[in-house]
Structure 1
Amino acid sequence: MVLFLFLNFMKNWFLNIAASAVVLLSFTACEKDETKVTIATAGAPVLTASATTATLSQPMANDNAVKYTWAPANFGFAAATTYTLQFDKKGGNFSKPISINAGSATTRTLRVTELNDIFINLGLPADAAAQVDVRVLASVGTTAPTQASAVSTIAATPYDFCAIPKDSWGLVGPAGDGWPGATATDIVLPYDCKARAYVLRMPLNAGPFKFRANKDWGTNLGGAGNLTSGVPLTLNGSDLTIATAGTYTVKLVVAVDAADKVTGGTLTVTP
């Protein structure tokens, strides 16, 4: 009986020691696992802008306005980082920003039309100079706090969008580059949304000229009268004339009907 009690005591003692060892090993393993997921933030992205001012106009809509580049953020460990450019009114503290997701890229170029849309969508009025704050955010999801770069500022005067007519119009004739041929060509006038007209300031020679659409004689405008006070133009009208060579502002208003077909127009040429 004594031997039986001794053996039973030794069995229970051994089982208790084994269970304690398992608990100790489990606790040690947990501590190691927790150490592995510890994340230290080390450095925010550094934002650089190619310009602090931009010229915005609808004829330049597809031109590049500004390029933003940033040095990658450092979260203290290797991770897939997502970057977001944010824009807000000057001093707005990014309370209601406009955001552009740049993905994993470390550069983003904005075209004139994109930057103009940002200014307008922030509630900044067209034709009034304004400033916008810019920053880049770096994120690796929920495993670490989002990091923000220092703020950059860009100044510009946004424009009010208007639909550009489908036709291009050019001045042709000796008053310009000559009648179209082997070397001479049309001097194309850009469309001015404010004036709702094709406008260009250019040097002109003394001599005749006309206007034609899309570098083709199928649709052309001419007429006669006092250029400085405005000349009514008609389809296939007569040649116009510059009396004295000089630099002039040419303003061409083209009239169209309900079917968008050209019916005539008005021309003003002023020194």
Structure 2
Amino acid sequence: MMLLKKYFIWSLALSIFAFGCEDDRDLVVAQLGDAPVIISPEAGLSVDITEDNLSDEFATISWTPADFGFAAAVNYKVEIDVAGNSFAEAVELGSSMSDDVSVINSKVNNIMVAKGLPGGEFTDMEIRVRASASDELDELISAAITVGVSPVAVEIDYPKLQVPGSYQGWDVENEATVIYSANSDGTFDGYLYIGEDGAEHKFADGPSWDVNWGDTGADGTLDADGDNIVLGNAGVYRFSVDINTLTHSSLRTDWGIIGDATPGGWDNDTDMTYDQGTGLWTVDIDLEGGKFVKFRVNDGWDLDLGDNDTDGKMEYGGADIPVAESGNYTVTLDLTNAIYTYTLTKN
């Protein structure tokens, strides 16, 4: 009897083990293999971009397939950044589900000019390929190649996103109601005056309604042909959109100037006035020389602008702006273009 019982227990255990092994045969285990390797162009490519060749091909960037350990649909993204920057400010050149992306000179030129790189001088740029098969798996990233590029100083035609709505007659072709992608990377940012309470709007890849987004459910996620997005009280709104992740946000803004050069110091803003005609924020204010100012929204530090390079071009969270000498100034903040600027004009 004892022998029979032992035999039964071992048979049951073997059956469970065999059943488990049979189930395991249905599982796919991902074992990450080789990252893509850039085949073309060769490292050391040198491209002198001029006004005459902006529409020419910069390069067809091709690579070997990434190996994720199983048959997978792989999305490849090609990125570029200044050499030595570790791709901290990488900009996407293109994406593909195959093994190459064709890039024209104007695309690279716009990226370099937007980064403030000098025209007519060669700068080393790095290119890499990122491969992704699933949100659950790590990316496979190629080794970078270095190319030399001399951009030409031209006015950049920044990518635009239309913001048609009830506040402007739902005019999807209106070039005055657009926001820009300053880095040409699918993220858009801009400020528009909304002259009515409870205005409704959408975003569109204009100037047509063929590709447009709303927000069904008002959850901050964009939906193709989704519901109208509803705003609050009239005023100047900051619109932020990321087409890559299909997310958006909006904020009603009032701007002020703050700093130890101002009468309120670093504790109290001096409010600026918005002009609907020009789209500019201005204020006349006494400033103290040898000290600093910044601009911020809604009397708080959630959103502020400074100037990292003291070149009149502004960055979110940028450096404090020096005031050269004491006096009465007209201060202007211009948020109407892709690059935000300011002036301090002594009266």
TM-score bracket, shorter-length normalisation: 0.3 to 0.5
Q: Report the TM-score, using the length of structure 2 for normalisation.
A: 0.38
Q: Which has the higher contact order (CA 8 A, sep 6+)?
A: 1
Q: Report the TM-score, using the length of structure 1 for normalisation.
A: 0.48
